[in-house]
Chains A and B, each alone.
Chain A
Amino acid sequence: MIKFLVNGLLRDRQRSLFPILIVAIGVWITVFFHAYITGVFGELVDTTARFSTGHVKVMSRAYAENQDQKPNDLALLGADQLMSDLQQQYPKMTWTKRIQFGGLLDIPDENGETRSQGPVAGMGVDLLSPGSTEIATLNIEKAIVSGRMPQNPGEILIGDNLAQNLKVKLGETATLLTSTMYGSMTMYNFTVVGTIRFGVMAMDRGAMIADITDIQQALDMVDASGEILGYLENNIYNDEEAAVIVDQFNANYQGVDDEYAPVMGKLRELSNLSDYLAMGENFSGILIFIFIMIMSIVLWNAGLMGGLRRYGEVGIRLAIGENKGHVYRSMIYESIFIGLAGSVLGTLLGLGSAYWLQTQGLDISSMIKNINMMFPAIIRAEITHETYYIGFFPGLFSTVLGTSLSGIGIYKRQTAQLFKELEV
Chain B
Amino acid sequence: MENSVLIKTEKMVKKFPIGGGFFTALNDINLNFKKGEFAGIVGPSGSGKTTLLNIIGSLDVPSEGSAVVMEKAVEKLSQREAAKLRNKYIGFIFQTFNLLPVYTVFENVEFPLLLQDFSSNERKEMVKQALEWVKLSDKEKSRPAQLSGGECQRVAVARAMVKKPQIVLADEPTANLDAKNSHNILQTMEKLNKELKTTFIFSTHDEKVIEYLHRKIRLEDGQVVNDEIITSN
Contacts and interface: CB of A to CB of B under 8 A. Distances in A.
B171 A321 contact: no
B57 interface: yes
B83 interface: yes
A223 to B, nearest CB: 84
A278 interface: no
A422 B94 contact: yes
Interface string A1-16: 1001001100110000
A244 to B, nearest CB: 62
B100 A424 contact: no
A313 B204 CA distance: 23
Contacts of B198: none
Nearest to B103: A8
A316 B80 contact: no
Interface stretch (B63-71, B111-119, B145-153, B181-189): B111-119
Q: Which of A318, A323, A422 has the most CB of B within 10 A?
A: A422
Given A319-B57, A419-B59, A424-B45, A7 B98 contact: no
A320 B102 contact: no
B128 interface: no
A167 interface: no
A322 B114 CA distance: 10
Contacts of B47: 424
Given A4-B107, A320-B87, A422 B50 contact: yes
A4 B112 CA distance: 11
Given A321-B87, A321-B88, A419 B50 contact: yes
Given A313-B100, A418-B59, A423-B50, A324 B83 contact: yes
A325 to B, nearest CB: 7
Given A1-B114, A7-B107, A8-B103, A319 B80 contact: no
Contacts of A257: none
Contacts of A318: 59, 83
B80 A422 contact: no
Contact of B103 (A7, A320, A423): A7
9 contacts: A1-B115, A4-B110, A4-B111, A7-B102, A8-B102, A321-B88, A323-B83, A419-B59, A422-B203
Given A421-B98, A422-B57, 9 more contacts: A4-B111, A7-B107, A319-B59, A320-B115, A321-B86, A418-B59, A421-B94, A421-B171, A424-B172
